[in-house]
Structure 1
């Protein structure tokens, strides 16, 4: 990469762009951007001038790349999964926490571990895990020995998230049906609301029944 490329990487990080978006703007693979940032201080400490000088020194010494970079880095793979989660509507910080749990060996992290690994504030992790717990993506366990919470992404997480995520739409369907009655079933507005309520209720019921039917696949 040229020094100008590295300056654009730093600018992208400062603007909060994802690795994938920075790569797109530089017309380079996401894995290249991920490796560049990972071996030069990470997203919080990346400095383009120092990165360029360090790369030049490594080239002069003929220093081999670290073993971790000889294979596709986890950061690059994780970034792609994060981007997909964000496109579904998940907040980016929340998506980062969820993906880090997903890619962990046992699906378990403490808040301190998440803070250290993602290089973010404890408050950011707290907001993210609370969202994930409330929406069924992860569950909270208490470690009695160390008196701290452990966040767990288990095999039932997908099932819980589908069931919990269906509830707001089901409530919307019931509200539409109630409003249809209030406007009168013969009125144009009442008929429109009744159709919408019936459609939403049937779709959500089918979704929950399907989740129940295939739940055993997660066991």
Structure 2
């Protein structure tokens, strides 16, 4: 299946292609695979001069068994109170992570962000993240640096300790929306400039003019949404501190 794991039949085709003197790109095209996949497969299994389909298949099975046995069981998620189903929380975390990756976040950064976002405290230390994600401290450090630069989390000292913890920003999507707003404004400006230079009555100029009109509508909608949300936050901040508690007590 294209995009899935290589099968024994795939490896037979790769071996035959190499014997015929085909390049990685051509072999990949025939199998419906990226050339990089073929290159990695051949490189880690003897190279183009010593690649054997049966030997490669057995080596892959051996690596898979070794990796499976080496992986310790996933640590339980600590925030499983409030009657939550631990498996449901774990499944949701995985799906949320996948969604963040689809939105453009690198996978490690997405895993760190999802781990923070599902915690009630919204804060975890580097050691917490290493244990939860079963990755190296360096991987966590790089991911945190990226997310901090994007304004999605911040660092703070653990009270009474020398350690740091990473805290999710409650309004972490706001900086992203503001960045999108700025990008849209820049695109509007350059599209209008392009229409002026090329001539709005020409096909190329009309294309830029139409793009500017659409982007301007999106920009205005973004600006209105952000202003409305800021008003909502201001109203919440103005509420008495015990308002939420009182409502919760009344609900029970």
Normalised by the size of structure 1, how large is the TM-score? 0.58
Checking the alignment, whether the CA contact within 8 Å between 1:101 and 1:153 is kept in structure 2 is yes
The residue aligned with 1:123 is 138
Checking the alignment, whether the CA contact within 8 Å between 2:154 and 2:169 is kept in structure 1 is no
Matched, 1:143 2:165: no
Q: What is the 5 A alignment of 1:100-179?
A: 100-136=115-151, 138-143=152-157, 149-179=164-194
Encode CA deviations 1:29-54: one digit per residue, 9 max, x unaligned. Answer: xxxxxxxxxxxxxxx96429x99xxx
- Distance (whole Å) between structure 1 residues aligned to residue 180 and residue 149 of structure 2: 10
- Distance (whole Å) between structure 1 residues aligned to residue 191 and residue 150 of structure 2: 23
What is the deviation of 1:189?
A: 1.1
The residue aligned with 2:27 is none
Residues 75 and 115 from structure 1, CA distance in 2 versus in 1: closer, same or farther, beyond 3 angstroms?
A: same
- Distance (whole Å) between structure 2 residues aligned to residue 96 and residue 106 of structure 1: 17
Residues 116 and 186 from structure 1, CA distance in 2 versus in 1: closer, same or farther, beyond 3 angstroms?
A: same
The residue aligned with 1:47 is 69
What is the deviation of 1:212?
A: 2.0
Checking the alignment, whether the CA contact within 8 Å between 1:159 and 1:215 is kept in structure 2 is no
State which structure, 1 or 2, has the greater radius of gyration over its C-alpha atoms. Answer: 2
Encode CA deviations 1:138-193: one digit per residue, 9 max, x unaligned. Answer: 23234297566543213222323222233333322222222222223332211211
Checking the alignment, whether the CA contact within 8 Å between 2:155 and 2:165 is kept in structure 1 is yes
Checking the alignment, whether the CA contact within 8 Å between 1:135 and 1:164 is kept in structure 2 is no
- Unaligned 5+ runs, structure 1: 1-43, 52-67
Checking the alignment, whether the CA contact within 8 Å between 1:97 and 1:125 is kept in structure 2 is yes
Q: Alignment RMSD, CA only? A: 3.2
What is the deviation of 1:93?
A: 1.5
The DSSP-based 3-state class of the residue aligned with 1:126 is helix
Residues 104 and 181 from structure 1, CA distance in 2 versus in 1: closer, same or farther, beyond 3 angstroms?
A: same
The DSSP-based 3-state class of the residue aligned with 2:221 is helix
Normalised by the size of structure 2, how large is the TM-score? 0.52
Encode CA deviations 1:96-129: one digit per residue, 9 max, x unaligned. Answer: 1111011122111233432332122233323322
Residues 129 and 165 from structure 1, CA distance in 2 versus in 1: closer, same or farther, beyond 3 angstroms?
A: farther
- Distance (whole Å) between structure 1 residues aligned to residue 170 and residue 138 of structure 2: 27
- Distance (whole Å) between structure 2 residues aligned to residue 147 and residue 165 of structure 1: 37
Runs of 4+ more than 6 Å apart: none
The DSSP-based 3-state class of the residue aligned with 1:47 is helix
Relative contact order: is structure 1 or structure 2 higher (C-alpha 8 Å, sep ≥ 6)? Answer: 1
